Amino acid sequence: MNQIRIGNVEIEQSAALAPMASVADFAYREMCARYGAAYTVSEMVSAKALCYGDQKSLALLRRCTLDIPFSIQLFGDDPAHMAKAAKLLLPYAPQMIDLNMGCPVPKVAGNGSGSALMKDPSRASAITAAVAEAVPIPVTVKIRKGWDENSVNAPAFARLMEQSGAAAVAVHGRTRQQMYRPPVDREIIRLVKENVSVPVIGNGGITDAFSAETMYNETGCDLVMVAQGSYGRPWIFSEIRSYLKDGTIPAEPTLPEKLDIMLEHVSLAVADKGEHTAMMEARRVAGWYLKGIRGAAQFRFLCSSLSAYDDLKALAEKVKQQASRQELV
């Protein structure tokens, strides 16, 4: 596989895992890394919370066990807080720090952080410059197409971030107003690529190997980044990697194999967070893995009452047995 460089960090040119709040925790990132993610990014971490020693924020910083690049994502609206927080991250050994200038959710954007910074390029520039000066590792910036269709500014914004010290820019091809609704504008990612000399990472709408290839071909981006397309499908990274390497796609895991992968995923979460917290979160995670199978609605309903890891093991066995009976009919 070809390699790209972000600052001094070499990354395989396949697909990275996007930062996803309340999703891309240690267990999630570990699973995606095991299936070939080129690098992973933490859930977004509040710079202000880090500066005030918030323990919940520190819990988000654990890196996966595989030796692939790891980036920690910061959000905030104050250059001084962002720079101080970036320094506090260094003991956790990230190879990069990512600045969140794309999150659309009201509790982030409504406070002047995330995608709201695309309406304030001068503040965004000051933040990027402050962080880039504060740490000895590459700083990347994740942005959107713009705030809304009347203020599409990703190419000029990305160029300003490069001038301010960003070593790469990730572009989500939707506006903040769109949130996560289609369509994804790959043309805007192509325009960003034309306007900067640092690597550009294309994000949005990548659900399989073919859409990853389309993102590369239509935008000229240096790397693609997968978000919701990895829900319950960590093997998407091995599919993308294989297809880009030699045009082949590995066989989709069988249903029993998918259920075993689900159990592996949740067991990692249990070991990391404790059974109670992990199983509350597993109600959603298990639903992702069960999506699309026969009887999925019934099984997802059963997921809503999971409270122990043994409950999930029993549910997985029930699904396997039902599938086996159906095959015999």
| Chain-centre distance for alpha carbon 67 | 18
Backbone angles phi, psi at 254, to 5 degrees: -70, 165
C-alpha span between 233 and 255 (Å, rounded): 12
Q: Considering only CA atoms, give the Rg of the chain.
A: 20
Contacts 24+ apart (CB under 8 A), 246-254: 249/209
* 3-state SS, one letter per residue, for 231-281: CCCCCHHHHHHHHHHHCCCCCCCCHHHHHHHHHHHHHHHHHHHCHHHHHHH
303 tagged catalytic? no
Q: What angle do CA 194, 4, 193 make, to 5 degrees?
A: 10
Q: Which of 64, 103, 221, 303 is catalytic?
A: 103
Q: Which residues in the chain belong to E strands, given as ranges? A: 3-6, 9-12, 15-17, 40-41, 45-46, 70-75, 96-101, 139-146, 168-175, 200-203, 223-226
Q: What angle do CA 165, 167, 173 make, to 5 degrees?
A: 110
Contact, 202 vs 223, CB < 8 A? yes
Specify the DSSP class assigned to residue 118: G
Residues labelled as active-site residues: 103
